[in-house]
Structure 1
Amino acid sequence: MMLLVAIVMFLCALSSNAQTPPSAWAFGVQRGVAIVWLPPSNDTLPASYTVLRRSAGRGNYERIAETRRGTREEFRQLCQQIGAGSFRDTLLLWYDAHEHRQTPDSVRRVIARELRGMILAKSSTVLPVARWFGTYLLDSTARAGERYDYAIEAGGKRIAAVEGVLAGSAVLPPKPTGLRAMPTDSGAHLVWDVRGTQKAGIWGFHIWRRDPGSTQLRRITAAPVATIFLDESLPIAYLFADSNLRNDSLYAYAVSAVDLLGREGERSDTVTVLPFDSRPLQAPYGLVARAEGDSVIIRWHPPFEDRRAIGYHVYRWHTGDTTTRQRLTLEILRDTIWVDHPRELEGDVSYAVTAVDRYGRESELSLPHSVPVPDVIPPALPLLLEGVGEVGQARLRWSKSPSRDVWGYEVGRSLFPPDSTITLVSLDIITDTTFIETLPIASGRTTYWYRVRVVDRHGNRSRWSAPVRVVLPDIVPPQRPQLEEVLPGDGVMTLRWSQPLAEDDVAGFLVLRRDGESTTDVLLTPLGLPADARQYTDTNVRTGIFYSYSVVAFDSAGNRSKPSRRISAQCYDTRTPPVPEIDTLIVTADGVTLTWHYVGYVAEGTVAIIERSTTGETFVPISPLLPASTRRYTDGSAEITEAYYYRIVLRSPSGIYGKPSVARASAASRRQPLRR
């Protein structure tokens, strides 16, 4: 499993765009030069490599050796040797897939990248894995003391190069520099300079520690801390975290580099560290500063669930200017209360406290609390106060108080003359010199009295100013009238109503009417009725039509009430309809056609009835009820050979029949008989 993690780390390092890691390394050894390189990252695994060499910086490269990749059986044994464990089967599957002819090249390149990570996965397995891949060569023909350049080719392409390698000299990894140890809670974080170590072929570093009471450093890492995968261009917080240390005990650390050949170099200089509970100390909370008399009393609560605090420091500064912050406590304060006497200061001051632990470390400042410098002299009143009433609100404005330490203003209101009770209507301190109060319109009240007083930054309040009278426009309508009844009469309608509440401000009434099916109100009294009117008679009505009435009250400001309930009724008419006069009586092929007219008033809704007789004595109706506006009718039921008498009678909307017209006789019909 560790092998898999290392391979993933290596691949992630290769995928970084910030730095291109080296792909070949050469080391001087007693027998010559040892060379380790990586297969190409964007191709399949080569079966063999060609190693070229020349004297450093001069001449042409010459072929000195060829290396080949191992067999599948050797790969299986290698997996067992390097401790691949349960991951071994996966590696074998990858290998078989890479070697299978039907595997696409794109898949083989992906597998090759995965297998490539095995070379640098563990410091102890670099050489055996590289030998199987064919990416390791010991050049024993190199002359000691000479420097050489090496190039690696695969498939005719150069894939890596190393220059200026000193042969025959076993140079161990250099001594690490820049080691720093940072204390943590029961532990330590170590960081050192790793720049250039990848190019130098440093795989990682061993950690050495000297415990309290010991005189010797001992190695505490079973395997080196891997740095071969790091992107050296990025900042590093720490490279190794040690834990389970005793707080307040002194430890010493050193590190040593391990190269790809497994050789360990000289240890770095030692550094010491004293672990301690390094969590930030919690700040006190709930700080409250309150001015009392000429003093300011500050109280707070200890840090919540942090028992490391052994005391506190108190700080003060001019509010808004943190550069004036100063510590008031010369020694650690053991209590959670402090009394300050800032007599020499003006304006507002802010206070905050810090918690202090036994190491002398302070927490961050608590949340500050600002308070005016203590003062007991009330501020001066404004010289001017005026108010204006508008619809539903009162607008006030006043001049500024001449006092220097004014915090703001408060506004009071009275409902009656100046000696009445004052109600505070400004819920917050007003920092401006204007105030608008929204007042309930439905109350009907229009007159109010207002006052202003000044509040300074120490909480001192002046007396109330002289009152100013504010009158609001009257926009409250009167109560709606109660329409009691609508009495129909002979050509008239009479309304009676009452006013539910006796209001002094009712100036009169308006009568509204709707005719028939209309939904539009017609104002019958454009000039209004007097305030004491309780009855109205409508004479402009006609029988047969339903009229709907309502009444509206209005006050002296022109505000109208809601309409009263509506009552519908229709009048009646006792007048007898006029006698019709027949103009013509003509016999045609369609029957007998009559025309007529009226002389006199015909009420709307009156109907005409055509009557017929064969003897001139007994008449029977032969027509439906015809509107009075009809002036022509054809009797299509007359027999061909008969002569008839006709007359017309009117019926009013009230059911009153008028006198019939004078009967007129007709000749026999001239229609042709119907064919049977």
Structure 2
Amino acid sequence: MVRDVNGHWERPDSTVRYRVYRFTNSENPETQTPVYIGQFNTRKGYRLNETTDSDPNLRSEYGNKTWWYRIRTLDAAGNTSQWSTAVSATVKDITPPKIPTNVATKGFEDYISVKWKLNSEPDISSYMIYRSLCHLGSWVECLPQDTCRVWQSYNPYNMNIAGEAPKTSLAYLDNKNRLPCPCSGPFVFLGELTHDSLKKAVTAGNFFYDDRTITGSPLCYAYWIKAKDLSGNMSGKCPIPSPEERPEIACERLHDLTPPDPALISGLFAMNECIRVEWLGPPSQDIRAYHVYRAEGMIPAREPDISYFKWVGGMTVELPPAMPVLLSKPYEAPSVAKCDRISVQATPWMSQGYFTDKSIEPKKTYWYRVVSIDYDGNETKLEKSAAISTFSFSSRIPDAPVLNNPIADASSCGVTLSWLPAYDAAKHRGFVVYRSNSASGNFVPIVSAPLTYNNFTDTNVVKGQTYHYRVAVLLLNGKLSAASTVKSVTL
């Protein structure tokens, strides 16, 4: 008779041999074809016998497997006993499911949908959904600091006064400001879906899971799917995805319609014939560019209406070692914004920049606003940005006119002068003619008012005398140019 499930049995005194059989169930043994395990003789001095069933086919590929055992005894005369009571033993399934494949994601305004190809194993019970972060379109494992490359940062203020970056990117890197290596961090459990429920979703053509816990986030998220069978085995490795699983991690971001926060002008500097605008933007990973708007102040100290502000420039946001690009036209977002440019961590240069406005006129008041544009092309509403003003100036002396050689006219006792450039009423108030009796002497004006033409005859002269002339142009803004080269003539 069988004693316990471990294969021990107690022998009657008359028993000399035991035969062990394996069944697939506990039903009537006479109606089944058992598997013969073996025959075992009585061990003298022992009342308990045992054996081990080590058939490699005991373990099922899918799910736990229960087997049933019975024993029959034979005496010395060859008589066989009735079947013993059946006892069972369960062999646990330790084979993990296959890794789910074809993981697909789709970003919407306020949630991300996930789906994948369902496993074909018959014992699949459910699927576990995990989420982490993506860096530049991939899930990046966090390694010890000394084993990964240092991600360098650059300083936008290293750009020159014209708003142009140095030709070499090495000069643009700020070696004193090194950032830690970016990595995605651990995966967090989002939920579990049964295999049967997902079959219905496949039939309906729907996504399987909607992640609605990330509303308003600028980050890019990594989604990892693990299959679980009825025995509790899970696909792949945990908590770090195996190399075989990593290609099946899908990255996705929200494609929202919400504009980012505006940039704040941190510095407005009037320079010689240009104005430098510096700003600090929102510390958000999906800022792609900044736009600068300008309006001319009609009334000093009074901010112009929002309708007067026009686009004048801007710059893009780039990842090191690439350099920001000055915009010659408003930034246009790609049709589909992907994760490949979204960093897992915000860095200082993502939220700062500057623009040099060289299309200004001196002695005027200019107002500026700076707005942000994200990867989906959403731009901050202009009225949400703060306007800052400054007064422009020019310290550049206008170019001197070119004075032609004077012509002496003895018959009329005069000296005729001519020069370039031609008089332009839109730029010039007029020309001033100077004369001196010495080439290095004191030149004094010989006209009572600026001339609005390009020639002049000096009749206040004496024969036999040498005269020296110079010409300067007076601009509409009141700035007087340098005087021309001295030209001399003897009458």
TM-score interval, smaller chain: 0.3 to 0.5
**TM-score for both structures, normalised by structure 1:** 0.29
Question: Rg bigger for which structure?
Answer: 1
Flag the structure with more relative contact order, 1 or 2, with Cα contacts below 8 A and sequence separation at least 6. Answer: 2
